[in-house]
Amino acid sequence: MRDRLATVPSYAEPYAARVAALDSLLGSLATDDWARVILEGWTVQDLIAHLTAVDGLVAATLGARVVGPPISGDDRLARTAVMIVDSHGRPPERTRDDWWGQAGSLCERVGASGPQLADQIVGVGGFRLSVQDHLASRALETWIHTEDIAAVLGRALSSPDDVHLRPMTDAREFCFLVSGRSGLAVHDLSRP
């Protein structure tokens, strides 16, 4: 049985809920499922390494513990490549544990900081957003990739709670996530 994620302020609840939902799905996978190609040539294991990578960039910016090799920059794709290489040849359960540990570290950091951290503007992966917007973006991406995995494996999932949908759909980084663009310069999206 996994430890529960730290209690988080309300602005981080969508992220914590999507992490728990993905972890539940991952717990139901057979070993062979982890090698299934899900998206753009990435297996389930690669996709979880990717989520670990980007969550790690947010964690590093906030001063939380980072899982995996040391972070050498702020580029999402470069960090993803490092984490995918690091996960190859390892049991899938270890990749899942690393991802859970990274998500847990992020939740512990925002939980310990309380609601005052929500509006702090930080740069992660080329975007300057409030911490709450970064976490809404992380919730959104976690939800999207949970759906990606479930669809390929023929699993049905329940939708997020309505109260969690709003921050995810309002995530200012949404256009970046769906555009697939990379190598973008830092943008200040903290202003309307």
State phi, psi for 42 to the nearest 5 degrees: -85, 135
Amino acid at 94: R
Per-residue model confidence (pLDDT) at position 57: 97
**Ordered domains of the chain (ranges, CATH):** 10-188 (1.20.120.450)
The whole-angstrom separation of Cα 102 and Cα 22 is: 14
Buried b / exposed e along 76-102 (16+ C-beta atoms within 10 A): beebbebbbebbeeeebeebbebbbbb
Collapsed DSSP state (helix, strand, coil) of residue 45 = helix
Q: What tens digit of pLDDT does each residue of 60-88 get? A: 999 999 999 999 999 999 999 999 999 99
How does residue 156 score in pLDDT terms, banded at 50, 70 and 90? confident
**Residue 22 exposed, middle or buried by CB count within 10 Å (0-12, 13-18, 19+):** buried
184 or 4, greater pLDDT:
4
Query: Is it the case that residue 183 has pLDDT exceeding 50?
Result: no
